[in-house]
Amino acid sequence: MIKTYLDIAEEVSQALRENRPVVALESTIITHGMPYPENIESAMNSEKIIREEGGVPATIAVIKGKIKIGLTNAELDYMGKNSAIPKASRRDMALLISQGQDGATTVATTMLCAALAGVRIFATGGIGGVHKNAQETFDISADLQELAHTSVAVVCAGAKSILDIGLTLEYLETHGVPVIGFGTSDFPAFYIRKSGFPVDYRLDTPAAIAKALRVKWELGLQGGMVIANPIPVEYEMEEAYINGVIEEAVSEAAKQNIRGKYITPFILARLHEQTEDKSLFSNKQLVYSNVRTAAKIAKAYSELS
Ligand code: PSU
Ligand code: MN
């Protein structure tokens, strides 16, 4: 039944059949997370890095009502040039697909689609989370509920401090989602290596992470795992500077009354503008680092079975 909706690229399905490493990549980061043409550059380079590590990339998007697992270069280009394509989180999927529309998948829906296709490891920049002031706005990303239920590991550089990182970690704890620091005991804050909040466990090798994933899922403990990989030190931003820009962007969003799914893309665009693309450069570099780590974990995971 699900096959009606899924369109898995031949290269990806062959890799899955042969138990070779596959890494899922999201499309909201392309359509709404970075400006054109850097978004395409980042998407293509991410795929290249996965191949260098011996894996197969599976960028995920909804195109004309089909869930695509693995995009062609023309499809990547299409997702990168059309910022009018709607951001598709869990609640949007049935509507977009039933109407034959396009959708850029968020962390939540990339996990969902990856799980449908049998892909277990996913790399991105940062996860969504509990927004600052959520006690009034109720703004908590659907990414966190997806991590609670869907068995896919998400390699990320932590979460941006546009979010309340402390509350995001509390939420993940409540829902039983392990948060692992890859080579760090401090949960990273995207542009900076440390948020000041501890991770639950520190693991230093892809093999140790792969083993933890296998045990979790063999125990029947459904749900994801957050693998937090700090930005490489040479690309880290200056903390006081970036936090100042973030605060300004968050209050500008409130002032302009930006709501719901539009908040995160608004803030991201504002950060890139205000830092004259310095944050975009760091953003790309941390994605590449996450993608490489994810490919290594996927390889270690496939060697376990
Ligand atoms: N954080 C980033 N870059 C992004 C996103 C988050 O640094 O591109 C995107 C991801 O697709 C994430 C989504 O899943 O925003 C979260 O949106 P929301 O807060 O509306 O759930
Ligand atoms: Mn939200």
- Can you give the pTM of this predicted structure? 0.98
The ligand whose atoms approach the alpha carbon of 160 most closely is 1
Q: Which domains does the chain possess?
A: 2-304 (3.40.1790.10)
Active site residue ranges: 26, 160
> Mutation test of ligand 1: which of 107, 109, 168, 245 has the most ligand atoms closer than 8 Å to its C-beta?
107
Which ligand 1 atom is nearest residue 107's CA? 14
Candidates 249, 227, 245; CA nearest to 282 is: 245
- Identify the residue whose C-alpha is closest to ligand 1 atom 18: 141
Given a contact cutoff of 8 angstroms between Cβ atoms, the answer to whether 96 and 103 are in contact is: yes
Does the beta carbon of 33 sit less than 6 angstroms from any atom of ligand 1?
Answer: yes
One digit per residue, the tens of pLDDT, for the chain of length 305 reads 888 999 999 999 999 999 999 999 999 999 999 999 999 999 999 999 999 999 999 999 999 999 999 999 999 999 999 999 999 999 999 999 999 999 999 999 999 999 999 999 999 999 999 999 999 999 999 999 999 999 999 999 999 989 999 999 999 999 999 999 999 999 999 999 999 999 999 999 999 999 999 999 999 999 999 999 999 999 999 999 999 999 999 999 999 999 999 999 999 999 999 998 899 999 999 999 999 999 999 999 999 97
Residue whose structure tokens are 């992470």: 209
Between CA 268 and CA 262 the distance in angstroms is: 10
Does the beta carbon of 90 sit less than 6 angstroms from any atom of ligand 1?
Answer: no
Q: Please tell me the distance between residue 25's alpha carbon and the centre of ligand 1 in angstroms.
A: 13
Given a contact cutoff of 8 angstroms between Cβ atoms, the answer to whether 101 and 62 are in contact is: yes
